[in-house]
Amino acid sequence: MRQTLTLATACINTTPLDLDGNLALIRQAVDAAATMGADLLLCPELSLTGYGCEDMFFVADWLDALPAQVAALADELPEHMLLAIGLPLHFPGGQVFNAVALLSRGQIHGLVCKQHLARNGIHYEPRWFTPWPAGHVTQLSYAGRELPVGDLVFDVSGVRLGFEICEDSWVASRPGRTLFERQVDVILNPSASHFALGKQQQRSQFVREGSRAYGAVYAYTNLLGCEAGRAVYDGDAMVASNGELVMIGERLSFSPLKVYSATVDLQINRAQRLISSQPMLPGHADGIASVDFVWAGEPYLRALSAPCTLPAEDEHAEACRAVALGLWDWQRKTWTGGYALSLSGGADSALCGALVFFAQVQAYASLGESAYLAQLAKGRFEIGARGVDEAPLLWLKRAVMPQILTTLYQGSEYSGSVTRDAAAGLAAGIGSQHHAWSIAPLIDGYLQLANALTPDDPLNWQRDDLALQNIQARVRAPGIWLLANRGNKLLIATSNLSEASVGYCTMDGDTSGVLSPIGGISKSRVLQINRYILEQGIPLQQGEVLGIARLALAEMAAIVNQAPTAELRPVEQTDEADLMPFPVLDAIRRISQTQHLTPKGVLQQLLRSPFAQQYSVATLTGWLRRYYGLYCRNQWKRERIAVSFHIEADSADPKTYRRFPVISSQLKRELDEMDAFAASL
């Protein structure tokens, strides 16, 4: 019996429905794992089809074509390697399960089905899949063979393998408990776990604990990249043995595929089972499938992987990297000509522009110049060659960025030179093709048209404040759309999470666009990140390729040193005066969305926080009323805000994370209860 195993994990940047593309990456992963001498390769959840296939999981004809692909893949495997691959499993005439198949050369050994379907956060798996009942095993005719299916353990020449499929490991009654009873040596976890700040820490806890408590090696692998346009997957990969991490992969890589391996000692984990206080029935044979596979000989001279520790999380770096990876994947998966951005010289659009630049720099560093250029060539960019002595960063700014990003400053009579110069400076710093024009004549034109309808009663700022603000924001939209259409570019909308939550944005004005890259980042963090980009720079992976460790932008200084203002009114206006301090707004948003509380419950939390020392109860309840008033009435706006990436723990996206009725009571009763509670204090 083998005493050690070399386990490989693949993080794959899948595309939903792209069977050929996903299979090509899986084949590359098999080759890479073979080179590493791996005994087993684990691929992520639903990696054959992509995780986000949505209602295609209801299309039986499409599902029923998959087994032949799986069989063909098995035929190509190297002699001594097992492959675990996630896929949807259709019981002909019945329902669909979220499964993983275990393959070796020419063979499919069986399929394990997910028992706990993710229905929290951004996940809606119960719409398509049926949960598999624990302890149930059946037979199925699949790809022309009779296979065991269900809550299975595979006995591979004395080494027992079991699975927890993503959400299975997040719940209290995780399958690992019965895998332990069946003497499992290795628990494999194929996942599709969306990126959110702080999640690696959570995952590492169940990976380590799964290994310690169940006396097993635990291998975890996640999808990578912006698979289907919204969620970004971070390609987290970990292996734990004897309760300690022995492998941690690089997360949020711009490579479409990352394969890692770890060599682990099965004996030391068996020893933990031996001394476990949990009873284990001898001869527990239920749900154990014997696998006809011969491991390669024991590699006695191969060193075991050493324990390692999780690196400390740099939240700003992670947020920037996740957004940039999303932008890179949108660019390459949509085959479009880059991005167009209305650049105001304010915080939000500046961060969007900076992250488009960071995406190019990181893609260059991760892929290397020739693969990076090959990718751009697929998007039909014609990039001039880099000068012999030209530094890659300068070349990216000079030759690449003008093609990737078009920026446009659109001043009005209320815009100042501060923002115009800040926009021009940032554009120079990131190398975008920058233009500036005035929208004043267009606004005048609209006002003349409207005033001609009521010549005795022209629009004025005292009465028509919102109408006069919004026309300015709207007049900017057609111009930037024109430039976007002309260059086949994706229009970036600059909404951030805080403003999107309360609808503090003009529909069909500054919300116009395909994609809101920072729609998952709170305004408080946007402001902090801009300062971070100025003062520290975003760390680069493989930065040595460019000769820099971090990408800093000195041009952010002019952005960072302004108070956020929408420049929509003749009198100086700040966003925080219109709304409330952003840290308070973000706390209300986060508490209400992640703790699922009523306004009274949120107030109670705020009263226990440092805000209670800063602000009176009356001020806090006033802001809570403003927040909920805007939140409720603007659900229709959130339904129409451009697609965004999930970055913070919560999000405003009504199609994934946060659902709320478009028409509602506006929480009138609950707000009155909050006031009554505040009055009772």
Ligand X SMILES: Nc1ncnc2c1ncn2[C@@H]1O[C@H](COP(=O)(O)OP(=O)(O)OP(=O)(O)O)[C@@H](O)[C@H]1O
Ligand Y SMILES: Nc1ncnc2c1ncn2[C@@H]1O[C@H](COP(=O)(O)OP(=O)(O)OC[C@H]2O[C@@H]([n+]3cccc(C(=O)O)c3)[C@H](O)[C@@H]2O)[C@@H](O)[C@H]1O
- Closest residue by beta carbon to ligand X: 346
By the rule CB under 6 A, 432 interacts with ligand X:
no
Whole-angstrom CA distances from 473 to 152, 440, 480, 556 are 58, 12, 12, 23
Query: Residue 193, annotated ligand binder?
Result: yes
User: Which tokens belong to 608?
Assistant: 């226990």
Question: In the complex, what is the shortest distance from the CB of residue 106 to ligand X, in angstroms, rounded to a whole number?
Answer: 57
Q: What's the rounded Cα separation, in Å, for the pair 562 and 559? A: 6
* Helix H or strand E segment including 61: helix 60-64
Catalytic residue among 11, 53, 113, 166: 166
Q: What's the rounded Cα separation, in Å, for the pair 430 and 483? A: 19
By the rule CB under 6 A, 504 interacts with ligand Y:
yes
By the rule CB under 6 A, 510 interacts with ligand Y:
yes
Tokens 């074509």: give the residue. Answer: 65
What is the β-pairing status of strands 82-90 and 96-104?
Answer: antiparallel
By the rule CB under 6 A, 518 interacts with ligand Y:
no
Q: Is the CA virtual torsion 64, 70, 71, 72 positive or negative?
A: positive
Question: In the complex, what is the shortest distance from the CB of residue 519 to ligand GLN, in angstroms, rounded to a whole number?
Answer: 19
45 in active site: yes
By the rule CB under 6 A, 567 interacts with ligand GLN:
no
By the rule CB under 6 A, 236 interacts with ligand X:
no
Catalytic residue among 45, 125, 167, 318: 45
308 in active site: no
Query: Residue 419, annotated ligand binder?
Result: no
Q: Which x/- pattern over 601-640 shows residues binding ligand Y (rule: CB under 6 A)?
A: --------------------------------x--x----
Contact with ligand Y (CB under 6 A) among 192, 355, 505, 529: 505
- Nearer to ligand GLN among residue 126 and residue 387 (C-beta): 126
User: Which tokens belong to 375?
Assistant: 């990718």
Q: Which does 411 bind (CB under 5 to 8 A by kind): ligand Y, ligand GLN, ligand X, none?
A: ligand X
Query: Residue 495, annotated ligand binder?
Result: no
Cβ 140 vs Cβ 70: under 8 Å: no
Phi, psi of 168 (to 5 degrees): -50, -35
Helices 617-633 + 582-595 axis angle, to 10: 70
Q: Which does 415 bind (CB under 5 to 8 A by kind): ligand GLN, ligand X, ligand Y, none?
A: ligand X
Phi, psi of 85 (to 5 degrees): -135, 135
Cβ 270 vs Cβ 19: under 8 Å: no
Q: What's the rounded Cα separation, in Å, for the pair 33 and 355? A: 33
Question: In the complex, what is the shortest distance from the CB of residue 561 to ligand Y, in angstroms, rounded to a whole number?
Answer: 18
DSSP helix/strand/coil, 407: strand
Contact with ligand X (CB under 6 A) among 347, 484, 551, 667: 347
DSSP helix/strand/coil, 487: coil
Question: In the complex, what is the shortest distance from the CB of residue 638 to ligand Y, in angstroms, rounded to a whole number?
Answer: 11
Q: Which x/- pattern over 170-209 shows residues binding ligand GLN (rule: CB under 6 A)?
A: x--------------------xxxx---------------
Question: In the complex, what is the shortest distance from the CB of residue 505 to ligand Y, in angstroms, rounded to a whole number?
Answer: 5
- The count of chain residues that interact with ligand X, using the rule CB under 6 A, is 20
Q: Is the CA virtual torsion 170, 251, 316, 628 positive or negative?
A: negative
- Nearer to ligand GLN among residue 122 and residue 548 (C-beta): 122
Q: What's the rounded Cα separation, in Å, for the pair 197 and 232? A: 11
Q: What's the rounded Cα separation, in Å, for the pair 419 and 431? A: 18
Query: Residue 309, annotated ligand binder?
Result: no
By the rule CB under 6 A, 235 interacts with ligand GLN:
no
By the rule CB under 6 A, 207 interacts with ligand Y:
no
- Nearer to ligand X among residue 80 and residue 531 (C-beta): 531
Query: Residue 494, annotated ligand binder?
Result: yes
Residue 173, CA atoms < 13 Å, CB-side half-sphere:
7
DSSP 310-334: PPPP-HHHHHHHHHHHHHHHHHHHH
53 in active site: no
Q: What's the rounded Cα separation, in Å, for the pair 494 and 521? A: 11
User: Which tokens belong to 129?
Assistant: 């899949």
Query: Residue 157, annotated ligand binder?
Result: no
Binding site, annotated residues for L-glutamine: 193, 199
Binding region for ligand GLN (CB under 6 A): 45, 118, 121, 123, 166-167, 170, 191-194
Catalytic residue IDs: 45, 114, 166
Binding site, annotated residues for ATP: 494
Binding region for ligand Y (CB under 6 A): 466, 469-470, 473, 499, 503-507, 509-510, 566, 568, 575, 578, 633, 636
